[in-house]
Amino acid sequence: MLMEKFDLGHGDANALVHAVNDSDGMRKAIATGASTDSVLDGIYTGTKSALRPIHELLIQHIDGFGPFEVVPKKGYVSLRRARQFAMIGPGTRMRLELGLNNRALRGDARLEEQPAGGMCHFKVFLTSADEIDDTILAWVRQAYDAAG
């Protein structure tokens, strides 16, 4: 209804519903004093803990782009400027999922285009920090710049 009547995107409509219902547990945890590290500890538990170094390296590179907000969700974190430009979290217990919001990205088999109306335009799956190369960082930078 929010998408149809108010022309909100899926992510904005979802965030509004969570805010009204006070049902975004991870954001609430941060608001009540839980550290980002403790939230990430909850996301990267058990066999998924091996994915945390990939997450940390991505964030380290993205920090160099400039200011952005990290918004914890239930099983991932959303990275936002004026709007979400990326999401990072375990896709499975063996691979990290990097979601990117920028329709202009093209040209690589690693980019998996997502259906329209989803939380991101493309996903890239990473199993090792060594897979974070100049191309992936350029994609993230383009999404960062486009998010305003």
pLDDT digits (tens, 9 = 90+) for 91-131: 988 999 999 999 888 778 999 988 888 888 999 999 999 99
Structural domain contains residue 11: no
Under the banding of pLDDT at 50, 70 and 90, the label for residue 11 is low
pLDDT digits (tens, 9 = 90+) for 22-42: 555 555 555 555 667 888 988
Q: Which residue has the tokens 């907000």?
A: 69
- Tell whether 5 is covered by a domain: no
User: What type of residue sits at position 47?
Assistant: T
- Total tally of structural domains belonging to the chain: 1
Does any domain span residue 22?
no
Task: Output the average pLDDT for the chain.
Answer: 86
Q: What are the residues whose beta carbons fall under 8 Å from the beta carbon of 96, sequence distance 6 or more?
A: 51, 54, 55, 88, 89, 90, 125, 126, 127
Residue 6 pLDDT? 77
Strands (E), the chain: 69-72, 77-80, 84-90, 96-100, 112-113, 122-126
User: Which pTM value belongs to this model?
Assistant: 0.77
Residue 83 has pLDDT above 80, yes or no: yes
- DSSP, collapsed to helix, strand or coil, labels residue 7 as coil
User: Does residue 28 form part of some domain?
Assistant: no
Domain assignment of residue 107, yes or no? yes
Residue 94 lies in a domain: yes
User: Which structural domain range is residue 65 located in?
Assistant: 34-146
C-alpha count within 13 angstroms, C-beta hemisphere, residue 26: 18
